[in-house]
Amino acid sequence: MALIAAASNSNRAEWLDYLGYVAALLSTGAFLPQAVKTIRTRETRGISLGMYVIFTAGVTLWLIYAIGIGSVPMTLANTVTVLLAVIILILKLRHG
């Protein structure tokens, strides 16, 4: 936090954008292996339907928020996550 406080407003905004890109990469990247495995195997028995409905709704709201505030890192990360979550949700509905 001291680094952020010491930076000028311009540098602070740039630094926070980089921080946002790293956060987006890590959080979406952490979700990606499980999503790819689920899509490939179509195995969804271990996935809670209720959790995935709530998760998908939450990430969709984060996407709307990110677009609203103009955050490119959040928009990119949440777009990818929503797409993957919707695919997994559809697989869960089709294959139980």
Domains and CATH numbers, the chain: 2-95 (1.20.1280.290)
CA dihedral 83, 84, 88, 94 (to 10 degrees): 40
Measured in degrees and rounded to the nearest 5, phi and psi for residue 15 equal -65, -40
Predicted TM-score (pTM) of the model is 0.79
The whole-number pLDDT of residue 19 equals: 92
pLDDT digits (tens, 9 = 90+) for 2-32: 555 555 777 888 898 899 889 988 988 888 8
Confidence of residue 37 (pLDDT cuts 50, 70, 90): very high
pLDDT digits (tens, 9 = 90+) for 42-88: 999 999 999 999 999 999 999 999 999 999 999 999 999 999 999 99
d(CA 18, CA 29): 16
The whole-number pLDDT of residue 66 equals: 95
